[in-house]
Structure formats: C-alpha cells, structure tokens
Structure 1
C-alpha cells in the first residue's frame, strides 16, 4: 500500500473535525462568578451567642461595568429562644471609565437584636484602583449618600423615631494574594453624617482546600458613635465558613 492513499484517507477523516471546530476558535469569556459559604459564628457586643450563618455573593464583570450583589444571613438561638437574627443585602454597580469608575450602591440591614433594627443606605460616587498588580489590589471610593436608621425599642422610648441623615461615604478595599491558595481581604468603610457616624471593618482570610472549595475566616466590626441607651457602640461578628466558588 502506497503512502498517497493513506494520506488521502487521513485528510478525509480530519475534515469534519476542522469543520466543527475552526482553528481560530476560542471558548467564550465567562463574566459570571458566584460564591456560597456557610459555617459557624460567634457574636459579641449587643448579642452574645454562637450559631450558624450563610452568605451568597454574585459578580457579573464585563468590559464596561461590574455588578456585585451579596446576601448574608445570621441566626442564633439558645434554650430561651432566638438570640440573634440579622439579614444583610448589598448591591453595587460600577461603570468603568478611562480612569476609575463611577458607582451606585445600596446597603440594607434588618437586625432584630441590633442597636438599630433597620438600616438603609444608598450612595453613589467615584472610585479608582490606587494599586493593581498581580497579587495586590487597593481600591478607594468616595461619594455622598443617604442613610435611614430605625433604633431598637427601649423602655424609655418604646416607639423611637427613625434617624434620617445625608452622609459622606468613603471606602478602601484591599486584597492581597499571599500565594496561589491563600487570599487576604480587608474593607474599611466610614459614613460621616450630621446626626451619626459609623466605621465598618470587614476582614476575610481564605485558604483553598481543593479545586473550588476553600476555608474562610471572617471578622466584621462596626462602630456606631451614637446608639440607643443600653446598647454597645461596637458590634463584632466572627465567622468560620466553608466556601464554594462557581466560575
């Protein structure tokens, strides 16, 4: 058997493969990412208890904009009943410019046992990456906003009036990739208003266990300058979670 018939046969077999998958074919970009985590929780401050928590984070990133939404839930109970119940909803949309981005953001908190049971904050402004390398990223944001706070009921004030405040929001978001499997995050946010001021520090340490699974330690600390009588100014939530990432 000569080589010519063999080469002809191979070329005929390979033609359908080239027809189905062109040589310049590339997989479509995946702009969507999601994180789901759950685990153990310790509360100190206005609430002292231990229980479970959950968090879901969705990110959609394109060349023109980035949208990020986060839902958090905290629940704890003891023999006497529920001791902590809180739900957080956060959404931010960044519209990219040649340098930096403009953003719109909403933060909504329902906290049955917190110093403020309902906290609604909307803000907008400008942000930019002060540092952006392969391992380190630091983003800074500043802009005006509006905050609605409903204090918890007390014996002295069983029907408190809501606080409504125009605020200035500043934020620093830091991310450090320590090595291939470990990442450290720290977000610091300050809201300055005429009636009240708050500072929130959110720290996370994530270590990949295998493939898309990771172990995460998180600490959320919030300081509120003016709180209802009998409440503490600082609330701290510490979480130990197992995290799964969809990409």
Structure 2
C-alpha cells in the first residue's frame, strides 16, 4: 500500500507539469511561479553543530487550472561526547533532526472561484510522531478572495492515509524495552487554508493551515512566514511552523515546532 500511495503522489506531481505541456495557448496556460528557500547554521569551538533547512514551492494558476508542488527538508547534527569502556571520551556527530516531505495538487476550475482538487503528500521523519506517512485525497476548493494585496482560498475533501507510528520505549516491571506499533490505515478529512497578505510593496505575510483528521489520529500543521524582498529575485523570510498529532505513543511529544530565518530565491 505504501508503494501505491507513493506512486499516486508521483503521478499527481507529474500531472501538474503535463497540464502545462499540453496547453498550447500562452494566455490560458499561465506561467509557473515559485521560490526556493535555504537556511544553514554551523558552529565550531566548544560546541559543534550543523543545521540545514531547505524548501521548494511551485504554483500555477490560470483560467482552467490551479496547481502546486512542494519539497521540504530539515536536517540537524550535533557533536556529543561518548564515554568509552576505559573511561576516556570521544566525540561524534549525532543526527538530531532528519525530515523531508513532498506533495502536489492538481485543481480543475469549475468557474473563476471554485475547483475540484486532487492532492497527495508524503513525509518521512526519523524523530517525529510517525516514521513516515502518505495521503491521497480529492476535494472541493474555493477561492474566497483574490486581489492585488490579499489572497484567500480553502480546500476540503475526503482522503486515505497510511502511516507508521514511531518506535519508542515502554517500562514493564521497571525494565525499559523497545515498543513498536503496527502500520496504521484510515480514511481522513483533508482541509487546507491558504492566506497571503501584502503589507507593503516589499513585505508579505503568508500562512498555510493543513488538516488531516481521521478516527485514529488528527494531524494539524500551520506554516506562517513574513517575507521581505531585497531585490526582484532575493528575499529574507522569517518562518514559524507547528505540527501536531492528537495520538502518539508513550514518550513521543504531540507537538513539534520549527523557527527559521531563510534566504529566498524567487524563480
């Protein structure tokens, strides 16, 4: 089933590009727009660490289609001291964050405001509530507002999600032992809210809220960002992300947060 979901996700992203290739009219096609983000931090001396945050987002909207594609990655390594059996210490790097996710959506407009949307998303996280998760869905979208300064759209619909809860440890009779849960499958309700507001000529606030709610687990993700343009191609973005699972195994936190300051390259 995991391979099936991944194949569906890949087909969804390919469909986005196929739509553009099959449309011959420049006016009706609409150009792809988007941006790439990169944040990197490295420390040396008494403390050594390396942190990398990267994002890629592409969007297309015209009279007939509303499509999007994204890829995100997060990785962090920190140097720690490890005591050897002889009492001496050695240093090594431990990975403390390793997450990547990607997704795509294809929207076919019924009229200038409403559209039918098919979407897919896959996420892998070595330190999250789920080791991996994949979802495909179909739904209805509505563009509530679209002006020069403000954009607001909604999506809602049913989907199917499969995920592997993260392994953890439990204590039985005073002894800690590893514990893993079987792979989970469930029908979910997917909701998405996209909001964008231009504060000034070179400053924009955007916020994306995602919901994937099932009977076993309810997942919520909110991404907020403030973007300040320095040139036509380069911007500085301050972002804050919150991820929340309603159901996790003992010892696993329900909520993860990520604060970033990235350089943005507008494609």
| TM beyond 0.5 | yes
TM-score normalised to structure 1 length: 0.80
Q: Aligned partners of 2:189 and 2:28: how far apart in 1?
A: 40
CA shift in 2, pair 1:27/1:151, >3 Å? closer
The answer as to 2:69 corresponding to 1:55 is no
Report the CA distance between 1:146 and its aligned residue: 1.0
Q: Please say which of residues 53-62 and 205-214 is displaced more in the overlay.
A: 53-62
The answer as to 2:139 corresponding to 1:118 is no
- Alignment partner of 2:206: what SS? strand
Q: Please say which of residues 147-156 and 180-189 is displaced more in the overlay.
A: 147-156
Q: Aligned partners of 1:229 and 1:217: how far apart in 2?
A: 33
Matches within 5 A, 1:151-162: 151-156=165-170, 158-162=179-183
After superposition, give the CA deviation of every residue in 1:1-54 in whole Å (9 maximum; x if it has no partner): xxxxxxxxxxxxxxxxxxxxxxxxx9998612231110147xxxxxxx871111
Q: Aligned partners of 1:215 and 1:148: how far apart in 2?
A: 36
Structure 1 gap ranges (5+): 1-25, 42-48
Matches within 5 A, 1:19-168: 31-40=31-40, 51-80=51-80, 81-98=94-111, 99-156=113-170, 158-168=179-189
After superposition, give the CA deviation of every residue in 1:73-104 in whole Å (9 maximum; x if it has no partner): 10000114111100010111111111411101
Runs of 4+ in 1 over 3 A off after TM superposition: 26-30, 156-159
Q: Aligned partners of 1:67 and 1:188: how far apart in 2?
A: 17
Preserved CA contact (<8 Å) 2:28 2:64: no
Matches within 5 A, 1:196-207: 196-207=217-228
Which residue in the other structure is 2:259 paired with?
Answer: 238
Matches within 5 A, 1:210-229: 210-229=231-250
Q: Aligned partners of 1:175 and 1:114: how far apart in 2?
A: 28
Structure 2 gap ranges (5+): 1-25, 42-48, 81-93, 171-177
Q: Aligned partners of 2:188 and 2:28: how far apart in 1?
A: 42
- Alignment partner of 1:134: what SS? coil
